[in-house]
Amino acid sequence: MDNYRFKYFFKKRIQILFVFLIILLLIPLLKIFYLQIIQFDRFTALSKNNSIKIIPIPPKRGVILDRNNIILADNKLVHSLEIDRAFFSALPEIQLRLKDKLNIDIDIDIANKKISYLYENTVPISFNLSDEEIARFVAHQYLFPKLSIKQRFIRDYPQGKSSAHLIGFINRINDKDINFLEKENLTNRYLGSTHIGKSGTEKFYENLIHGTPGFKEIEVDAKQNVIRTLQEEKPIPGKAINLTIDYRLQKIAEKAFGEKKGALVAINPKNSEVLAYVSQPTFNPALFTNGISHEAWSNLNDKDSRAMLDRVVAGLYPPGSTLKPFVALAALKNDIRKPPFSIFDIGYFKMPRSSKVFRDWKRGGHGTVDMIKAIAVSCDTFFYGLGLELGIPKLNKVLDDFNFGKKTDIDIDGEKSGLIANKAWKKKKLNESWYAGETAITAIGQGFTLVTPLQLANATAKLANPSLSIKPHLLLSIDGIQQDKQEVIEKKQSYSDENLKWVKTGMVNVTKEGGTAAFLGRKSNYQMVSKTGTAQLFGLKIDEEYNEDILPDKLKDHALFITYAPAIDPEIVIAVIVENGGHGGSVAGPIAKKVLDAYLVNKKL
Amino acid sequence: MIKVLEKYKKRIDIPLLAITFFIMFLGLVTLSGSNLDTSHIIINQVINIFVGLIIFTILIFTNPRILFSYAPILFLITIFLLILVHFFGVESNGAKRWLAFGVFNLQPSELMKITLPLMIAWLYQQYQNKISLRLHFTAIFLICIPVYLVLLQPDLGTSIMIALSGFLIIFLAGISWRLIISSMLVAILSSPLIWINLHTYQKNRIINMLDPFVDPLGTGYHTIQSMIAIGSGGGFGKGWGEGSQTNLNFLPEANTDFIFAVYSEEFGFFGVTIIFALFLLLIFRIFILANNMQSTFSKLLTVSLGVSIFSAIFVNIAMISGLVPIVGLPLPFMSYGGTSMVVSLASIGIIMSLNNHKTLIAN
């Protein structure tokens, strides 16, 4: 092949080659045209998805206040020790070094947290550092370049252990909560939230105080570092709620209880506002905010003290003699034992057509006793016979009117309905028939009957104000706006003024000379309308005597006391139960009296 | 001084150099638009270009006769280096590709991209009057040696490139179409055999090319992010320095292998069309120069070097737009990196040197 021919040949081949290369280059050009022009929208969306994240901003939880704006629960700005999320895996080593070098302990349960604080550049590892520890850390921060101190809001309970059952607590959202939120379609409201109300008001009014999360649109890079905020919608904070509670009374009642176990409820009989709501012993709600240790939890659930039990609505007690005013009203309504009818009490009641004997609490008896005296001295003998003659159905009808045996529907979680027993119930539950003796002891508040302190207070409020038709409630206002009271729609029987007056007179006489709590009346500058009660925890054998001194504490009787005052135009109703307190008048009475004094006499304290 | 410049001016082909500079300029613009910390990258790249231009200048003043006479020796040396790689090469990612000389790493397979065309062009120049089937087979045999050695490393991408640059010369030297077609058939039929002998990571790359969205965070990640970058650029791009895929680090190797994706994201289809036109002009000018050259050696070597640059451009763009698997190949004149820049500029230098001495290699 000579040179000339080669040149010709070569020219042809590079022409072919050039055309081939143009065609070859057209392929990626077409592909890029497809990507950039035809699929532009899709890839723009993908590109935004890549880099733009929507981050929920949890709302600030609403504060809980008492009726005088004393703070029961709010949010506190705290210093938290935080770790750069990129170095999360180094945490065990950091934990050791913190302990070793600075003697600082950090929270143990950290695995969950990284998820809770998604899209935050740092994750808190401790909220509990003391000022001294913070100072120590800051001085040695160069040793821990991956840690920093930040400020965060955490739920705070300034009253400490006081009123814990009323306020309740919040805790981390768990699987159960997530299921619930999904079922209720509330998941969107909890985006970004780490905690939820678990008991008390914190739980019942979760809806109000939780708020609505805001959103932040942020740009992140491939390593999920936040580059900048594109737009932000502020969260709507939860509503502030005022409770009907008068924290001053709460505090006085708690102090009066001291180390004793039990409950106290105070209600305004004009509108059923709950003024005091005390359950003792109590717990520290702050313990739960960031997860409670196993040890602390088992302490709280100790069988003897049962600190977690909200005794006000979930404590079930035999009412003892505090039931007598209601039993009396049932008798009077059915025209039984109306004054001036009286009996002569010799200290016991003998069952008709039987050798069985029921003792009065007072040896030797009370002598001549009519309805008024029977209430004042709490004469058991009088009520045994009354009960037998009245019978369970008629008694239960009146107890039902006073809302015993069913929930009051108060606005707090975990309320129990108590128990008003009858023949059918006993058959079903115990498969036993009803004995006449059980009717007799039911009339003095023993037997199967179980009430909650709230039921007792609620029923007493109805005695104080028979026209009262509002449910007991704790919510006073939302963001300062007064709330409507919920009326009870149920139809009640009416009670004649005369009957009510006899019962009231008996109750007035409780704190007068000869009454079961006469000592309370001596020092009182207002008229109390009361009833003492002593609930036996174990059945005494016939003729066996109860001796307070030799019984172990936990088998001792419960002391009960119900009262309202003043006698004319009553302003406050109180029910007190002191577990294993012994006699009602002497143990529970003074606690109630202190609260009454505070409310009625030292109003401006 | 003016004389030197005059001399310099005579030795360069202004259109080719202008096109090259324009492409390098677009590369620098793209690099500097990134929000990432790039100041040292820009300085380094300017240094790379500077070094490349020094070599370019040396080459345009070099008589191509030297290249011609040393071609067989250069080829043998490179073969020797490839064998050395096999025994003493630095291993990384399961492949031996580099020879370490203290601070300086040499990749003999890159060298082979120039020395093999040199060798084959030399062969056809030497026997230009006796071109026969036997000569073609000799050429094929010479091509197979380095291709096999590079495959052993293993480096599929580079070995294909080397093979193409060699076969291209055989094609230009006038091998008959019948032979071309039949060898193509052999290649297609033997592809299953090649598949069996591929490494797992190479197979994965091919699978991912077919459907990158199957494993978006695994091996398909690079392809997807690069396609997102290109696609979201649209008709006129997000604007210089506004590429979110790049600046937020979603795009891997944004400065090196994936610089074209950055360019597409920021300048859109309009910018892509401009750069495609520049690439075509570059290759067109090289072909014009080759056509005007007198000796067989010059013609063959020039076209081969041009097509080498073109192949690198094509494979890089095809890889970034998701047409071929990710093979880790820089874009000539644009990607950040010394070797690629120096080799590309050296190729242009050799072409201009050949162009200056049209008649020096007399037939």
Domain annotation covers residue A51: no
CA distance A341 to A337: 6
Residues of the domain holding A71: 56-243
Name the pLDDT band for A543 (thresholds 50, 70, 90): very low
The answer to whether B35 faces chain A, any CB pair under 8 Å, is no
Say yes or no: A123 and A238 in one domain. Answer: yes
Give the residue with greater pLDDT, A531 vs B178.
A531
Separation in Å, CA B232 to CA A38, B83, B205, B267: 11, 46, 24, 11
Say yes or no: A237 and A251 in one domain. Answer: no
Domain annotation covers residue B10: yes
Domain annotation covers residue B361: no
Of A226, A232, A227, the C-alpha closest to A122 is A226
Q: What is the pLDDT of residues A267-304, one digit of tens each?
A: 999 999 999 999 988 998 888 876 666 677 777 777 77
Name the pLDDT band for A541 (thresholds 50, 70, 90): very low
CA distance A497 to A494: 9
Distance from CA of B144 to the nearest CA of A (A): 23
Domain annotation covers residue A304: no
- Residues of chain B with Cβ-Cβ distance to A218 below 8 Å are none
Mean pLDDT, rounded, of chain A: 85
Residue A545's pLDDT is: 46
Say yes or no: A23 and A97 in one domain. Answer: no
Domain annotation covers residue B362: no
- Using CB atoms, pick whichever of B248, B268, B310 lies closest to residue A222: B248
Contacts of A196 by beta carbon, 8 Å cutoff, 6+ apart: A170, A171, A172, A173, A177, A190, A206, A210
Name the pLDDT band for A542 (thresholds 50, 70, 90): very low
- Residues of chain B with Cβ-Cβ distance to A39 below 8 Å are 231
Please give the full DSSP string across A358-422, using - where no structure is assigned: EE-SSTT--EEEEHHHHHHTT-HHHHHHHHHHH-HHHHHHHHHHTTTTS----SSTT----B---
Write phi, then psi, for A399 (nearest 5 degrees): -60, -35
Say yes or no: A319 and A190 in one domain. Answer: no
Name the pLDDT band for A23 (thresholds 50, 70, 90): very high
Residue A397's pLDDT is: 92
Say yes or no: A265 and A194 in one domain. Answer: no
Residue A114's pLDDT is: 55
Question: What dihedral do alpha carbons A224, A228, A230, A236 form, nearest 10°?
Answer: 80
Contact between residue B57 and residue B351 where contact means Cβ atoms under 8 Å apart: no
Domain annotation covers residue A300: no
The answer to whether B37 faces chain A, any CB pair under 8 Å, is no
- Quick check: B250 and A222 CB within 8 A? yes
Q: Provide the domain count of chain A.
A: 3
Contact between residue A560 and residue A456 where contact means Cβ atoms under 8 Å apart: yes
Say yes or no: A484 and A565 in one domain. Answer: yes
Domain annotation covers residue A44: no
Please give the full DSSP string across B30-55, using - where no structure is assigned: HHHH-SSS-HHHHHHHHHHHHHHHHH
Q: Provide the domain count of chain B.
A: 1
Residue A554's pLDDT is: 61
Say yes or no: A259 and A239 in one domain. Answer: no
Which chain A residue lies closest to B232 (C-alpha atoms)? A44
Residue A538's pLDDT is: 55
Say yes or no: A141 and A160 in one domain. Answer: yes
Domain annotation covers residue A572: yes
CA A424 to the chain's CA centroid:
33
Domain annotation covers residue A355: yes
Say yes or no: A333 and A348 in one domain. Answer: yes
Name the pLDDT band for A544 (thresholds 50, 70, 90): very low
CATH number, domain containing residue A254? 3.40.710.10
Domain annotation covers residue B167: yes
Residue A292's pLDDT is: 67
Least reliable range by pLDDT among A484-488, A549-553, B310-314: A549-553
Q: What is the pLDDT of residues A109-126, one digit of tens each?
A: 555 555 556 556 677 788
Q: What is the pLDDT of residues A386-423, one digit of tens each?
A: 999 999 999 999 999 999 999 999 999 889 999 998 88
Residues of the domain holding B189: 2-356
Say yes or no: A521 and A430 in one domain. Answer: yes
Say yes or no: A513 and A380 in one domain. Answer: yes
Across chain B, which has 363 residues, the per-10-residue mean pLDDT values are 75 90 92 72 88 91 87 93 86 72 74 88 85 86 91 79 86 80 82 75 64 53 82 85 74 80 91 95 94 87 90 89 79 86 90 78 48
Residue B85's pLDDT is: 86
- Quick check: B172 and A17 CB within 8 A? yes
Residue A45's pLDDT is: 81
Domain annotation covers residue B38: yes
- Residues of chain A with Cβ-Cβ distance to B272 below 8 Å are 29, 32, 36
Q: What is the pLDDT of residues A304-320, one digit of tens each?
A: 778 889 999 999 999 99
Q: Kind of pairing, strands A122-126 and A71-84?
A: antiparallel
In percent, the amount of chain A with pLDDT more than 90 equals 40
CATH number, domain containing residue A203? 3.90.1310.10
Contact between residue A246 and residue A66 where contact means Cβ atoms under 8 Å apart: yes
CA distance A309 to A568: 36
The answer to whether B129 faces chain A, any CB pair under 8 Å, is yes
* pLDDT at A142 exceeding the cut of 90: no
Say yes or no: A127 and A65 in one domain. Answer: yes
- Using CB atoms, pick whichever of B168, B227, B321 lies closest to residue A28: B321
- Residues of chain A with Cβ-Cβ distance to B262 below 8 Å are none
- Using CB atoms, pick whichever of B273, B290, B363 lies closest to residue A14: B290
* pLDDT at A447 exceeding the cut of 90: no
Give the mean model confidence (pLDDT) for residues A537-541: 50
Domain annotation covers residue B363: no
- Using CB atoms, pick whichever of A7, A17, A36 lies closest to residue B234: A36
* pLDDT at A1 exceeding the cut of 60: no
Q: List the single best residue of B136, B228, B263, B315 to mutate versus A (max A Cβ within 10 A).
A: B228
- Residues of chain B with Cβ-Cβ distance to A25 below 8 Å are 276, 279-280, 314
